[in-house]
């Protein structure tokens, strides 16, 4: 399991950014702008590191979310 201990941003912010990147065809710089519109100042290089580190967790979380939405 990936540990969010020591992360400078809340788990929800990290997972939102990673899920958004994995779900939609956006670049890291586009996602940086999207996050800034939501009040989160994060660099595109940080987003890249998040996708590499937390991508597997986000895929599992996104899959479970899709299953939940399909059953509702």
pLDDT digit string, tens, across residues 7-45: 999 988 998 999 899 888 999 999 999 999 999 999 999
Contact present, 44 and 32 (Cβ < 8 Å):
yes
The predicted pLDDT at position 15 comes to 87
- Number of domains into which the chain is organized: 1
| Residue 65 domain flag | yes
Is the pLDDT higher at 27 or at 66? 27
Q: Give me the numbers of helices (H) and strands (E) for the chain, helices first please.
A: 3, 0
CB-based contacts of 21: which residues, under 8 Å, 6+ apart?
28, 31, 47, 51
- Cα–Cα distance, 67 to 9 (Å, whole number): 27
Q: Is the dihedral of CA 2, 4, 54, 61 positive or negative?
A: positive
Does 66 fall in a domain?
yes
Task: Give the range of the structural domain holding residue 19, as residue numbers without chain letter.
Answer: 11-71
Q: Is residue 24 part of a domain?
A: yes
- Residue 59 maps to a domain: yes
Does any domain span residue 20?
Answer: yes
6 in a structural domain: no
Is there a domain that residue 1 lies in? no
């Amino acid at each position: 399991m990936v540990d969010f201990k020591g992360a400078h941003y809340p788990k929800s912010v990290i997972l939102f950014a990673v899920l958004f990147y994995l779900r939609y065809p956006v670049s890291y710089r586009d996602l940086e702008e999207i996050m800034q519109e939501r009040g989160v100042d994060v660099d595109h290089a940080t987003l890249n590191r998040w996708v590499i580190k937390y991508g597997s967790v986000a895929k599992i979380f996104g899959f479970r979310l899709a299953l939940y939405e399909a059953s509702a």
